[in-house]
Amino acid sequence: MLKVQDLYASYGAITALHGVSLEIAEGEIVALLGVNGAGKSTTLKSITGVLRPVKGSITFLGEEIANRSPESTVKKGISLVPEGRDIFGSLTVEENLRLGAYANYERARYKTDLEEMFQLFPILKERFHQAGGLLSGGEQQMLAIARALMSRPKLLMLDEPSLGLSPAMTDQIFDLISGLHQRGTTILLVEQNAERALEIVDRAYLLATGSLEFSGTPDELKRKVDIASVYLGGDDNDHCEVHL
């Protein structure tokens, strides 16, 4: 479904990605792991068109999408739940969800999709007319995911969905992600909580300082990579310790 080849991206004179390549097949849930500054969010921004790659290819459903606008990427079928959620706090839950559906808005389908969101996120029905900024952190994350789903994405990308959440709410979010996967949603998950992510994904990629260090199944990654060392030892510029 998605294929990224030899991707380079930069912020001014600073190169953030060095030849990153990855693939996601339809129906998979794939994790993109790494410490802060590894290039995870930059990869997502490049895929969505928020950041223009310096070099490389990004194909989605067989079509080149590198350097497309974010709006055209959404219409193509890719939705991103950004780090920090980025909901519109002054707008109601209803208005946030309506904005999520704007790219492919159809009145009849909108009502059907709303009902589906209420089934997935019952709290959003209760909070429907409340301002998004009044929701708890976990409720805002649910709203951000629901907003992304309103565009009926073929690929859902989640950037640090558990960031800043309580352990109990983190459990709910991971259960939700697993449920979406079981429903057939293709997911690319960026997550600092590597151990939790590896419990639910089919495959994982590990980034360090903008370069791909490892790719494989969760079991393969756990055998070959010292996860505790990666996430708890050294600074953001340290390379991952991979045991081959």
46-69 tens-digit pLDDT: 999 999 999 999 999 999 999 899
Q: Which helix (H) or strand (E) holds 47?
A: helix 40-48
- pLDDT tens column, 126-151: 999 999 999 999 999 999 999 999 99
Domain with CATH 3.40.50.300 in the chain: 1-77+153-244
Judge whether 38 and 211 are in contact, CB under 8 Å. Answer: no
Classify residue 102 by its DSSP letter: G
What global pTM score does this model have? 0.88
pLDDT over threshold 50, residue 111: yes
What count of other Cβ atoms lies within 10 Å of the Cβ of residue 70? 15
Burial 141-171 (b: 16+ CB within 10 A, else e): bbbbbbbbbbbebbbbbbbbbbbebeeebbe
pLDDT over threshold 50, residue 237: no
pLDDT value for 164 = 87
Exposed / middle / buried, residue 113 (Cβ in 10 Å: 0-12, 13-18, 19+): buried
**Residue holding tokens 């159809």?**
106
At the topology level, CATH places domain 1-77+153-244 in Rossmann fold (3.40.50)
